[in-house]
Amino acid sequence: MDVSRRQFLSIGSAGVLGGSALGFDLTESVRIKQRLRIEGATLSHSLCPYCAVGCSLIAHTKKAANGKTELLHIEGDPDSPVNEGTLCPKGATSLQLAVSRRRVPHPLYRAPGAAEWKQVSWEFALDRLARNIKASRDATFVAQDADGNVVNRCEGVAFAGGAAFSSEEGYLATKLMRGLGLVHLEQQARV
């Protein structure tokens, strides 16, 4: 039977060689594939929340069996003109904002004079915070300055907003603190 070069090689690739297209033995590769545990992670863009630079991040996430999305890894985005894949040490650990084994999952309280921390409820902690803020404010509130001018300000409490604040959180915090009369307001993003 006369066959052309093209016909011959076509027959070879399709029918004779088997296995891989070029006839490589795939037995061992198939065995490895079966025991290899390969999982997929989705890539998403994000921004580092820590400072005003606004470094671009790539986040790797995976949907768990329970339907929740887990954050696996964060790295600098090499395509970003802002950071070109670079992150500062703090930004490189921004994963721990969401996931950290060392995070304390409940409020702890150490009473005045006590050496040990003890676990308390959120109700207790929030109530205690509110009482202390109120007590500090009342103790250091200045209604008039030395010249008799009405100032109504609290000089005994300062507030530092976190760089992970969203704009809305920053607005809310400022409103609240100004309402208390605080004048010492700062934001970590400026530090």
Partner 1 sequence: MFARDRARAAELRERYPHAAEVFGLYLALVEAWESVGDRVPSDGAVEWAHVHVLPRVIEATAAHGPPLLAAAVRIAVGNGLLAPDARAGPPAAAKGPLGTAAGSGGGPLGTARRSAGGLLDAWLAGEELPPVERYLARATMRVVPLATPPDHEAAGAGPVRSDPRREPGRCPACGGAPQLSYRTAGDDPLVSGRRMLHCARCAHEWSFSATTCPQCGETGKRTVHAEAAEESPRGQPRVGRGSAADDALFPHLRAESCETCRGYLIDVDLGRDPRAVPHVDELAAIPIDLHMADHGYTKITPNLMGF
Which residues in this chain contact partner 1 in the complex, by CB under 8 A? Answer: 3-6, 8-10, 12-14, 16-18, 20-26, 28-33, 36-43, 45, 58, 60, 62, 64-65, 70, 72-79, 84-89, 92
Q: Is the CB of 86 or the CB of 144 nearer to partner 1? A: 86
Q: Is the CB of 7 or the CB of 144 nearer to partner 1? A: 7
Q: Is the CB of 95 or the CB of 120 nearer to partner 1? A: 95
> Is the separation of the CB atoms in 34 and 55 below 8 Å?
no
Q: Is the CB of 68 or the CB of 106 nearer to partner 1? A: 68
For residue 5, the minimal CB distance to partner 1 (Å) is 4
118-119 and 69-76 beta bridge pairing: unpaired
Q: Which helix (H) or strand (E) holds 185?
A: strand 182-187
For residue 49, the minimal CB distance to partner 1 (Å) is 17
For residue 9, the minimal CB distance to partner 1 (Å) is 5
56-63 and 182-187 beta bridge pairing: unpaired
Distance CA(105)–CA(125), nearest Å, equals 13
Q: Which helix (H) or strand (E) holds 126?
A: helix 122-140
DSSP state of 19: S
